[in-house]
Structure 1
Amino acid sequence: MRPESPDPSDEGRRTEVLRIPAFRLFWTATTIRAFGSSIANVAFQVLIVTVVAATPFQIGILSALGVAPYLFLGFIIGALMDRWNRQRTLVLTSIGRAVVLAAVPILLLLDRLEFWSLAVIMLTLGVLTLFAHSAEQPFVPQIVPRASLVSANARLGQSETVAGTAGPAAGGALLTLVGAPLIFVFEAVIHAVSAILQSRIRVTESAPAPRAAGRHIGHDIAEGMRFTYRHKTLRPLALSVHVWFLGNSIVATVFAVFALRELGMPAWAYGIAVAFGGVGGFLGAIIAPAVGERIGAGRAILIGRSLTVVPWLLLAVAPLSNATNIVLLVVVVSIAQFLFGLAMGIEDANEISYRQAIAPDAIQGRMNATIRTTNRIVFFFGALGAGVLATWLGYSVSLGIAAAVFAVAALVIVFSPLRNARHGEGEPSAR
């Protein structure tokens, strides 16, 4: 693939990515869709509880449907993304999501929205989102120079963080003002606009090499796994992020219950603490390019991994309870969330950019799918185990175990060649 811009001569120097027409269109489409998704998530939660009146078991099923496509289709779709036109995939998935979201207000107006129809909608959106995510990561290196990948991913991370922080509040307000049907009409329009913007990106995608006789998609998937887990720096990167997802599955399952039930934080206080996580993530994404350029990709990722240990260790050992002064409680939990967001902001942009730069284009889809799908398999089973862990050992001990798991993720990098990796070194992407 080769975009009409930027000029290939820019390959060795960092470019302000929003000046690149192709990336500007991609970033705009991604940003408005991120805000829309954050608003839609709130609306879906309200529909599940109020309109569908789902039982706890049904809520669990609906939540699992968001992850299920990765478990069953992640590797396959990743392999397809090395043979399909990625831009066309992005456009079609945006159109598909617009159509699916437009069905929600129709079902609401006809009073036909019930558990099974909502389950079909959630599963369909999950599959379409999986296709879109599988196309996005290998597409970015084709519309920006290698030297600007960290900046590009940092911009995308900033948008995701702001959307994740402001979107739920906006969703709650819009839900009150205009109601669920109009919100989903708005969501459908956002995805339609996103499709138009994506279709305007000017990039030429080369056809993949013909598959050799006797080979099938299973061979393609195996090749992607071999490339990922035999590569001297991608292997420790993949193993480290898998371990990180195990730790994250614990905190994602335990933290909200710990804060709201164990510490007795009121909803407004919990909301403030979570918002500080968004602030930290935004700041981390801002400084990520400078950190990666100054100390190298490997050490930037290591800083993020190491910093992740601190907030959960703090919450595990701090003498907090529902009798703690509310101001002190908000301060401590907010600091923990800020540090967690900061760590993710620093490491995400550097990690994704390094993966995009180190892998040839012909295997980008499979390499990303290998890592992303395994991450979600680890998260799925880790979340199930985290519930048992919290029941047996309590919330504080569970958070302490999560901190230890995050420490292991950092140690994987410390004792590997990835520690000294820098952006721009290693095998260049095939273009």
Structure 2
Amino acid sequence: MGRFVPERLGSSFRWLLGSSWVTNFGDGVALAAAPLLLASLTRDPFLISLAALIGWAPPLAFGLYAGVLSDRLDRRRIVLVANAVRLCVLAGLVTMIATGTVTVTSALIALALIGITEVFADNTTSTLTPMLVARDDLTVANARLQTGFLTLNQLAGPPLGAFLFTAGATWPFAGQLVLVAAGLVMISRIKLPPHGRENGAATAGLWQDLKEGFRWTIRHAAVRTLALTILIFNITFGAAWSVLVLYSLERLDLGSIGFGLLTTISAVGGLIGTALYGAITRRFSLGVIMRVGLILETLTHLGLALTTSAWVASVIFLLFGAHAFIWGTTSVTVRQRAVPAELQGRVGSVNTLCVFGGLVGGSLIGGALASHYGVTAPFWFAFAGSAVFVVALWRQLMHITHDEPETAGRV
């Protein structure tokens, strides 16, 4: 355990890591159970599709406000309160399912409330790591956090959630409730250093705080480039992945099980990236890693646009899964190194806005292109858009990781 989570990271980070892992496991269980619950209550495609909208909407609607709060208030307390509210909502949902009183409307409301609490909990949790570990240890710390997300949220959670649901609709949500409760207890054991305006002692208004986060992001060359890269590459990714189910069925001639296996293959690739990440970061700078990663993502879209072979596509998804883990961990580390502690929440929320804004915009583009020009059109768009952007920002990407933080991220 000491080699996997070095002693120098400290006991508070270990509690944070444990909390992240168990709550991600619960979210992974719900990832499969939530749509199954709705499908058991209605076969209306529109109502079922609302569950996907509920997943996208909370970060866009509440992400910026969550960032402001995490920079104004005690961050540990925010996570505790958000998870306590999530526990109450889960308890209500479990009760309704167990008593047979759950409806489509009540299920959707419960899922929406859970999604909102996750925005506040996740945004604030992302600000804790740079407060707890040294700047040079952020790559290791973020890699360990992402390992839990891949193995528990993406690999173990969904199949377990589906299995528990077949045993009884109550079980997966009861399991999530227990896991969230465990995460809450672990967060309560963390001891944080001061991070600026404690206990709501801010004098500026909400909009002033939001503008300060955007202004800092725009003026900081490295973080601005990173945010722009995340926005553009989520537009291209969202365009291609929005029609992935049709692509797998029509282009690759896979069934529903085969489509599900593509996600599993990507997660396995992520685990390979986890195993290699330490060696890669010791050999190459973060700037080189980010450059290579964006090239791989660009070629991913090209490869999928060209192939009709499920085997070739599987190899591409495996490589893409490794890239997604390595690049995602690196981008988080770059941002955490550069951003002052008192701005971590707001700059993180700007990043969240770029992620989900890009995905929503990209999905609209992908749907329109596929409707008019065929299922591979979004992949050609993703390849062309990614290639142009990589060429345009090639030099900036090399220097994106060279900026030092303006103020210390920990005490």
User: Please, what TM-score do these two structures have when normalized by structure 1?
Assistant: 0.88
Q: Does 1:47 align with 2:37?
A: yes
The whole-number CA distance in structure 2 between the counterparts of 1:307 and 1:285 is 17
The whole-number CA distance in structure 1 between the counterparts of 2:339 and 2:34 is 37
Residue pairs, 1:71-82, within 5 angstroms: 71-82=60-71
Q: Does 1:310 align with 2:289?
A: no
**CA separation of 1:48/1:267 partners in 2, compared to 1, >3 Å: closer, same or farther?**
same
Structure-2 residue corresponding to 1:116: 105
Q: Does 1:381 align with 2:361?
A: yes
Structure-1 residue corresponding to 2:377: 397
**CA separation of 1:380/1:273 partners in 2, compared to 1, >3 Å: closer, same or farther?**
closer
Structure-1 residue corresponding to 2:218: 229
Give the Å deviation of 1:145.
Answer: 1.1
Question: The residue matched to 2:190 in structure 1 has which SS?
Answer: coil
The whole-number CA distance in structure 2 between the counterparts of 1:78 and 1:354 is 18
Residue pairs, 1:25-424, within 5 angstroms: 25-50=15-40, 52-163=41-152, 164-176=154-166, 178-208=167-197, 210-212=201-203, 215-318=204-307, 320=308, 329-416=309-396, 418-422=397-401
The whole-number CA distance in structure 1 between the counterparts of 2:62 and 2:393 is 29
Question: The residue matched to 1:202 in structure 2 has which SS?
Answer: coil
Give the Å deviation of 1:84.
Answer: 1.1
Would you say the 8 A contact 1:293–1:423 is kept in 2?
no
Give the Å deviation of 1:103.
Answer: 1.6
The whole-number CA distance in structure 2 between the counterparts of 1:72 and 1:359 is 23
Would you say the 8 A contact 2:127–2:345 is kept in 1?
yes
Question: The residue matched to 1:66 in structure 2 has which SS?
Answer: helix
Give the Å deviation of 1:424.
Answer: 7.6
Q: Which amino acid aligns with 1:285?
A: T
Would you say the 8 A contact 1:29–1:198 is kept in 2?
yes
Would you say the 8 A contact 1:17–1:148 is kept in 2?
no
The whole-number CA distance in structure 2 between the counterparts of 1:145 and 1:198 is 19
Q: Deviations over 1:244-289 (max 9, x none)?
A: 1101211221112110233320233333332221111122233334
Give the Å deviation of 1:182.
Answer: 2.0
Give the Å deviation of 1:394.
Answer: 0.8
The whole-number CA distance in structure 1 between the counterparts of 2:355 and 2:159 is 29
Q: Deviations over 1:306-333 (max 9, x none)?
A: 1112222111112x1xxxxxxxx33212
Q: Which amino acid aligns with 1:34?
A: N
The whole-number CA distance in structure 1 between the counterparts of 2:7 and 2:13 is 7
The whole-number CA distance in structure 1 between the counterparts of 2:393 and 2:148 is 28
The whole-number CA distance in structure 2 between the counterparts of 1:306 and 1:17 is 36
Give the Å deviation of 1:377.
Answer: 1.8
Q: Deviations over 1:202-246 (max 9, x none)?
A: 22334517544xx31101100110111111111111101100110
Q: Which amino acid aligns with 1:415?
A: R
**CA separation of 1:188/1:357 partners in 2, compared to 1, >3 Å: closer, same or farther?**
same
Would you say the 8 A contact 2:340–2:405 is kept in 1?
no
The whole-number CA distance in structure 1 between the counterparts of 2:8 and 2:157 is 23
User: Please, what TM-score do these two structures have when normalized by structure 2?
Assistant: 0.92
**CA separation of 1:290/1:426 partners in 2, compared to 1, >3 Å: closer, same or farther?**
farther
Structure-2 residue corresponding to 1:9: none
Would you say the 8 A contact 2:33–2:158 is kept in 1?
no
The whole-number CA distance in structure 2 between the counterparts of 1:338 and 1:188 is 32
Q: Does 1:429 align with 2:408?
A: yes
Aligned length: 404
Q: Deviations over 1:368-416 (max 9, x none)?
A: 1111113212211221221111111111122121122333443354131
Would you say the 8 A contact 2:35–2:51 is kept in 1?
no
Would you say the 8 A contact 2:222–2:399 is kept in 1?
no
